[in-house]
Amino acid sequence: MEAQGEVKKPRYWIDQIQGSDAMSQFSGLLDMSFKVAAPGRFLDDFPIWDENLGPDPSRLVRLGVFHERKLVSCAGVRLADLKTPRGRLCVALIGAVATHPDWRAKGLASQLVAVALQWAAERSAALAAIARALASGTFKTNIGASFPLADIVAAHEAVEQGKVLGNVVVEIG
């Protein structure tokens, strides 16, 4: 029983997003967070997170923070195989990260991304190794060029023509 004057803290939990009600909430949270105008849907533009996109459901997990059966934050991770000269490399794609405005600034999305990275690492995805290297400071990036957003065409041309060695940064704002 709650003592008088005691503030009850909201309870929430992390779980997989499964079932039609949770998937509907997932779609709605993404639409709201990314300001998708009706009748469009976030999943129309990014079907990689749609439950109906195959080929193997065991290579996709959608995670959510739930509060009283309501989805308040979400993140997804999908495993994909890249063909390399030495064979296939399993990588993890993390996205569909969103949090309801009332629940922001509580670290919920960060918790979900950490769980997603752990899930990917348990499946030997290369992304997990990159994330560990970033966290330890052993991973360094090489920025080859920087372009203002107004010069986005020039940035694409520089990459396509091989004029840039390293990463290209597009500055927004």
Determine the pLDDT at residue 88.
Answer: 85
Q: Give backbone dihedrals phi and psi of 91, rounded to 5 degrees, phi first.
A: -125, 155
What's the rounded Cα separation, in Å, for the pair 108 and 99? Answer: 8
pLDDT-derived band at 145, boundaries 50, 70, 90: confident
56 shares a domain with 38: yes
- Do the domain assignments include residue 5? no
Neighbours of 160 (CB within 10 A): 9
Q: Which residue has the tokens 């704002």?
A: 173
- Do the domain assignments include residue 90? yes
125 shares a domain with 54: yes
136 shares a domain with 147: no
- Count of structural domains, the chain: 2
Contacts (Cβ under 8 Å, ≥6 apart) of 96: 26, 30, 42, 46, 49, 62, 74, 75, 76
- Residue 73 clears pLDDT 90, i.e. is over it: yes
pLDDT-derived band at 66, boundaries 50, 70, 90: very high
Determine the pLDDT at residue 99.
Answer: 94
161 shares a domain with 90: no
Model pTM? 0.68
Determine the pLDDT at residue 139.
Answer: 60
Determine the pLDDT at residue 22.
Answer: 94
Residue 20 Cα distances to 2, 23, 172, angstroms: 34, 5, 37
**Do residues 77 and 93 make contact, with C-beta atoms less than 8 angstroms apart?**
yes
CA nearest to 157, candidates 171, 145, 172, 143: 145
- Residue 29 clears pLDDT 60, i.e. is over it: yes
* Residue pLDDT, tens place only, 100-135: 999 998 889 989 988 998 898 888 888 655 555 656
pLDDT-derived band at 172, boundaries 50, 70, 90: confident
Which domain range does residue 91 map to?
Answer: 13-140
pLDDT-derived band at 71, boundaries 50, 70, 90: very high
**Mind giving me the DSSP string for 7-62?**
PPPPP-EEEE--HHHHHHHHHHHHHHHTTPPTT--HHHH-GGG-TT--S-GGGEEE
pLDDT-derived band at 31, boundaries 50, 70, 90: very high
Say which CATH number the domain at 55 has.
Answer: 3.40.630.30
Determine the pLDDT at residue 67.
Answer: 94
